[in-house]
A and B are shown apart, each in its own frame.
Chain A
Amino acid sequence: MAISLTVNGRPRLLDLEPDTPLLWALRDTLGLTGTKFGCGIAACGACTVHVDGQPMRSCSVPVVAVEGASVTTIEGLASSEGSLHPVQQAWIDHQVPQCGYCQSGMIMAVSALLAAEPHPTDAKVDEAITNICRCGTFARVRRAIQALARTE
């Protein structure tokens, strides 16, 4: 079944079983391996992408459900001129990643939160950012978000 959608601004046609999770369409069909597989049950957030601007855990979104939608992955988060998204830059400034495996999803979740709510409270951040990081970078994740939330 052919499914059409937009990925990182580019129209794509995917010939896949409709129940194929968006995660595997991105990774294996489109070669966008920046989106990570962590759990397959939407529990860890490593596979977070934006679907029409909303954060979604792509391991649990069948590709048929995003027919006609606009999907942004970590590879498409920077501006078209190539300058980093403010969240990506903050992640460098605060030296957030360790192994880095969870950080694509973390960055996508945080960028979606800040797009919807530029100055979230700590409580709102706690509620919205439920990604798992095994290396334990949470102290820096919070510092980076707080710095972004202060920025006008």
Chain B
Amino acid sequence: MGKWTRRAFIGTGTLVGGGFVLGVVGAAFSPSRHGVVSDDAESKGELNTWITVTPDNMVTILVPHCEMGQGAQQALAMMAAEEMDADWSMVRVKEAPALDAYANGYVARAVGGESIPGVLGRAFDYGTYRLVRWYGLQPTGGSMSVRTTGRFGMTVAGAAAREMLVAAAAERFGATPSELTVSRSQVHHAGSGKSATFGELAAAAAKQSVPSSPALKSGDTYTIRRTAPPRPDIPSKVNGQAIYGIDFTLPGMLYAAVEIAPVYGGKLVSVDTAPAESMPGVKGVVKLEEAVAVVADSYWRARTALANLEPTFDDAGHGGVSSQTIFAAFDQALGAPPEMPKDAATVITADYQVPFLAHATMEPMACTVRVDGSGAEVWAGTQDPLNARATAASALGLNARQVAVTNLLVGGGFGRKLPFSLDFIGLGARIAKAMSPAPVKMIWSRETDMQHGYYRPAGMARFAGALGGDGKPLAVACHYAGGGDGESVFMPYTIADKRADAKDAKHPIRTGAWRSVLNSQHGFFKEAFIDELAYAAKADPYTFRLNLLGEEPRFRAVLERVAAMADWKSPLPPREGRGISLVESFGSIVGQVAHVSVSPDGALRVKHVYAAVDCGDVVNTDAATAQVEGGIIFGLSAAMKGEITIAGGRVVESNFHDHEMIHLSDAPQITVEFIHSGHALGGLGEPGVPPVASAVTNAIFAATGIRIRRLPIKNQALRSAAAST
């Protein structure tokens, strides 16, 4: 644990009111480690910045990550409570406020690379660029919460809190710490029969010296982790009481509807505001650089009045850009297929292509902002309240400390509400400034949301693969355009010559992080092509992969498990097939088998998806399963139907009628199993996504002989070959 002194340490500070604070602080990344201030610190024993024990024996865990249904807040609290030996029924979870002190430096800590196990090296190497930008932020993304804040922060904080509570009890009982045991938020002394609750010990515990390297529990003594407590956020999500960003309401609040230049980068040229200003309830029309907003006393009145306007926008010079021009540029950039060894017996080549994709969170972009003489307040659901604060401050010309942000429940994030993609916060702030001091709630229409995203980049890959005379692969290589990195192009297979070269072509479409980021493209490309290579070698696709995993026992174990789950070798009826895929992302290895049927008229049915996951260990077993299930559905929706196309420089699709999602009727049965390998924790919010597209297209090939190389699948005819099979 000595390395904690290099990049992170258990820090102490003095609270207003004479209290005491202790926290595990990423040394380089927390700008104000002594700045934690609590109004009621005197009555609480503040044990550290994340853990509070109150005299009523309640433990409150402050979590510096947002809640968007991924369960990370609860998982982190479980990790802290486990090390404390707290009574889980006496543990509350709260989201940390948007203050500098809660910048979750643990995300950034990984940048240094020290003490990062080798198996995680790829993921952290991949993430370095983005993570560096996250200094001083409070992001929830990159499947990072449990494996960074949890692993490096919450466990250590919990263990330190436990040691200080034990030291306080030892003083009280006249015993030594080694004579004491802790269970369910009580410290016991067997010798004297005395015991005391955490609550009774909290004030004295805060005066104890801070342990520099508290001992962590071993997994076989866990009583809270590896269980499935119900998620605390669920009850309010079934009775209408949950408050999302879009739900926040203030007295006297006005509502804004907005129309933004349809081409990204475009500016408002002109608008006659009179047709809106004469409408009932309208309080103002706000002209902004790139948009026009109508503010009224109800959202519907604002929206109706906005529809009366006919603004003209310029196209920022991008009016000639289309999906066709973008893919043509990719195609040209990719050039000739990669060179293959001269002695190859067989060489195959194939091009793969994926479109732009929208996040399409169910909650459209929305925020409420109040601007007055002294500063501004913002209420919204985002994946980074500190960057929301900075974004609003920048838009308003204020210092960040003049802006208060309250983060509310996030109605779907998937990367759309991450730092540096909070354009809607800046827009809402500028509208509210024009209406100051009235608070203004801005709500984007679904059309605005769909057409002003930070899209998953479109991409292409040009593959070549070579087999020797014995059918063993000699080389696999690709040129790719649209984004990639060391993690996403990584293949675990032992092949002497593996290459992946970026050959990009610029375009003006705004892109961002979409659930699983670049793995969503390359998980399809590489695992579909390796499947092609298996068939070229006349090998079973599962056995072909397995034979190449001799040097990667974790991957091998995952592949074997998922094949067993799916009963891979068992026969299937005609026009049914299984496809297999194996992708590591965010520190977790996921193998999937899709079982599909294709009817004679070409209708695809994904019947069952099996997933085996090695994420090292699982915190909340049920919430972990839910994340993998959700990732599979999210990836399947994209693979089957998802597509954002560009024409005239702007997004064509506008709502769920032309940007389709899968429904309950399309959803397969899903079976998820975890392998408890004991390796370092991996993420779970995203790793379920990358394998599914290739698992399904590989299964379609097995069922029909049709190889899908362009997504979405809906654009491909499955009819003819299916009928002829």
Mark A residues whose CB is within 8 Å of B. Answer: 17, 20-21, 24, 27-29, 31-41, 43-44, 46, 73-75, 77-78, 84, 88, 91-92, 95-104, 107, 125-127, 129-142
Contact = CB atoms under 8 A, between A and B. Distances in A.
B416 to A, nearest CB: 10
Residue with the highest number of chain A CB atoms closer than 10 Å, among B234, B362, B410, B670? B362
Given A75-B240, A88-B238, A92-B235, A39 B655 contact: yes
Interface of A is mostly: loop
Contacts of A21: 300
Contacts of B301: 17
Interface stretch (B340-348, B479-487, B565-573, B656-664): B656-664
A57 to B, nearest CB: 12
B633 A99 contact: no
B361 interface: yes
Interface stretch (B145-153, B270-278, B623-631): B623-631
A96 B633 CA distance: 14
Nearest to B297: A28
Interface string B237-250: 11111111011010
A141 B234 contact: no
Contacts of B662: 138
Nearest to A82: B239
Interface in B614-651: 622-623, 626, 629-634, 637
B255 interface: yes
A130 B664 contact: yes
Interface in B383-418: 409-414
Contacts of A95: 230-231, 234, 622-623, 626
A84 B280 CA distance: 40
17 contacts: A17-B304, A27-B299, A33-B247, A36-B246, A39-B446, A41-B656, A91-B234, A95-B231, A97-B237, A99-B361, A99-B363, A101-B362, A131-B663, A132-B656, A137-B629, A138-B663, A139-B670
B443 interface: yes
A126 B231 CA distance: 27
A139 B671 CA distance: 10
A97 B69 CA distance: 7
A31 B655 contact: no
Contact of A43 (B361, B629, B657): B657
A95 to B, nearest CB: 6
B73 to A, nearest CB: 13
Interface string B551-579: 00000000000000000000000000000
Nearest to B661: A132
Nearest to A132: B661
A100 B69 contact: yes
B630 A28 contact: no
Interface in B160-201: none
Contacts of B669: 139
A60 B257 CA distance: 18
A84 B230 CA distance: 17
A10 to B, nearest CB: 15
Contacts of B665: 126-127, 130
B234 A135 contact: no
B96 to A, nearest CB: 19
Given A95-B622, A132-B661, A37 B443 contact: yes
Nearest to B230: A95
Interface in B499-547: none
Contacts of A37: 246, 364, 443
Interface in B209-238: 230-231, 233-235, 237-238
A55 to B, nearest CB: 14
Contact of A99 (B249, B299, B412): B412
A38 B661 CA distance: 13
B657 A98 contact: no
Contacts of B235: 92
B80 to A, nearest CB: 22
A20 B238 CA distance: 26
B446 A41 contact: yes
Given A46-B362, A101-B411, A129 B298 contact: no
Residue with the highest number of chain A CB atoms closer than 10 Å, among B238, B301, B361, B412? B238
Contact of A98 (B242, B255, B626): B626
Given A33-B243, A92-B238, A134-B412, A139 B667 contact: yes
Contact of B629 (A36, A132, A136): A136
A150 to B, nearest CB: 17
A141 B238 contact: no
Given A138-B664, A140-B626, A44 B238 contact: no
3 shortest interchain CB distances as A-B pairs: A34-B240, A136-B633, A98-B69
A36 B362 contact: yes
A55 B382 CA distance: 31
A78 B634 contact: no
A76 to B, nearest CB: 9
Nearest to A97: B237
Contacts of B244: 36, 101
B241 A34 contact: yes
Nearest to B281: A17
Contacts of A77: 239
Contacts of A35: 240
Contact of B237 (A73, A100, A136): A100
Given A74-B240, A84-B238, A126 B69 contact: no
A41 B655 CA distance: 8
B472 to A, nearest CB: 38
Contacts of B629: 136-137, 139-140
